[in-house]
């Protein structure tokens, strides 16, 4: 099996499993308990918080552990807007993840907010000028993702957050796809909140975090015992927080030591696919792109049939967002960047992992060529 769907979920490293294991077994205590077992759990939780903070250029008390990226985005959008309503106006982009889109719609339906959407270029980029055209003096929150999960485009977040700052709005970025893949720092990006999800870089599914800049207030979405400094109630998942910290450290160490190899593998894959599939369209930005991300549309094919043929040959890929699996409508991201509905339904996404080899990439390209040949797509497109 060759697994190239790491944007959907990445495998756990052995080091992560070993780090979390003690807190699933002997040191299982509740970190709020005052006895020694609870104190050991509390110490481990705060150590994990400090590691996450250090890796993201934040302070430990700015880290809020969550159940994943969806909860982190919900907490950011709803929490910022409800605590700082101003003119009840939100600005976002047309290519955001459903967690952001649906959070905005909730605020529209139940709290009287309005939402304006920026323009987006054909390559998926939102510019500072795009944001200036829709932001208002009374805008409450601006939310633009750091990089898109379907097409891989990396946004100029520092430029966008500067525009928000000048207008007095708060700025949130969904960094689920970039944490562990790019250098991500709260100060450099200039955002007020930043969401991440552990299973995108080797932690278990079910853990993430929201980084909240010091001094920024949030209305909690989950109420209860006041854990996470009152921002996210519920008994903390110590083992998964430890796993998140270790996975992030591993991913960052790998990025710093072997990040160039990932980019080289991605570029080899892109070149190979474009050669193997005449007429294929690379989607997203050519340069400002996630280092492990290669996404295409294959006009004239049946996207699901291509995926099934690849799967039959032992290659695991996707058509885009795993969160949209099972839907029959075309991707809102591809439609937003100007791709026709029929072409958008032919999307194919490969996202390589830290252990993907050159030989595996070449095997994937050959498998795609054979799949298209068997489906008759090569002859159809010339």
Name the residues annotated as catalytic: 323
Give dist(CA 153, CA 200) in Å, integer. Answer: 17
Q: At what angle do helices 69-83 and 98-111 cross, to 10 degrees?
A: 30
**Whether the Cβ atoms of residue 198 and residue 68 lie closer than 8 Å to each other:** yes
Give dist(CA 153, CA 146) in Å, integer. Answer: 8
What proportions of the chain, in percent to the nearest 5, are helix, strand and coil?
45, 15, 40
**Cα angle for residues 254, 257, 261 (degrees, 5° grid):** 85
Sheet holding 347-351, edge to edge: 281-282, 293-297, 347-351
Cβ neighbour number for residue 108 with a 10 Å cutoff: 14
Cβ neighbour number for residue 257 with a 10 Å cutoff: 9
Cβ neighbour number for residue 214 with a 10 Å cutoff: 9
Q: Is 277 exposed, middle or buried (0-12, 13-18, 19+ CB in 10 A)?
A: buried
Cα 378 to Cα 114, 212, 268, 375, 381: the distances in Å are: 47, 50, 21, 8, 5
């Amino acid at each position: 099996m060759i697994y190239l769907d790491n944007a959907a979920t990445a495998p756990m490293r052995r080091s992560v499993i070993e780090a979390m294991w003690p807190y699933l077994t002997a040191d299982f205590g509740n970190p709020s308990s005052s006895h020694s077992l609870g104190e050991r759990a509390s110490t481990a939780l705060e150590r994990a918080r400090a590691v996450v903070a250090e890796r993201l250029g934040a302070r430990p008390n700015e880290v809020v552990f969550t159940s994943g990226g969806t909860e982190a985005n919900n907490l950011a959008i709803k929490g910022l807007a409800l605590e700082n309503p101003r003119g009840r106006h939100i600005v976002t982009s047309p290519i955001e993840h459903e967690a952001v889109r649906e959070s905005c719609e909730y605020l529209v339906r139940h709290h009287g907010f309005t939402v304006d959407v920026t323009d987006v270029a054909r390559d998926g980029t939102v510019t500072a000028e795009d944001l200036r055209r829709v932001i208002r003096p009374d805008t409450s929150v601006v939310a633009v993702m750091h990089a898109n999960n379907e097409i891989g485009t990396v946004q100029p977040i520092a430029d966008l957050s500067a525009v928000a700052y000048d207008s007095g709005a708060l700025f949130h970025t969904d960094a689920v796809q970039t944490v562990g893949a790019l250098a991500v720092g709260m100060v450099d990006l200039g955002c007020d909140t930043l969401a991440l999800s552990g299973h995108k870089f080797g932690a278990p599914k079910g853990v993430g975090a929201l980084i909240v800049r010091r001094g920024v207030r949030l209305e909690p979405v989950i109420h209860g015992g006041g854990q996470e400094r009152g921002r996210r109630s519920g008994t903390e998942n110590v083992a998964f927080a430890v796993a998140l910290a270790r996975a992030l450290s591993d991913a960052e160490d790998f990025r710093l030591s072997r990040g160039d190899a990932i980019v080289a593998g991605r570029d080899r894959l892109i070149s190979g696919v474009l050669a193997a599939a005449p007429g294929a369209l690379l989607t997203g930005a050519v340069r400002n792109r996630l280092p492990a991300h290669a996404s295409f549309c294959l006009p004239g094919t049946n996207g699901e049939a291509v995926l099934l043929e690849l799967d039959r040959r032992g290659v695991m890929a996707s058509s885009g967002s795993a969160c949209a699996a099972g839907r029959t409508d075309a991707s809102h991201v591809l439609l937003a960047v100007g791709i026709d509905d029929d072409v958008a339904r032919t999307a194919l996404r490969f996202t390589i992992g830290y252990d993907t080899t050159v030989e595996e990439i070449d095997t994937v390209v050959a498998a795609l060529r054979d799949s298209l040949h068997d489906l008759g797509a090569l002859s159809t497109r010339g």
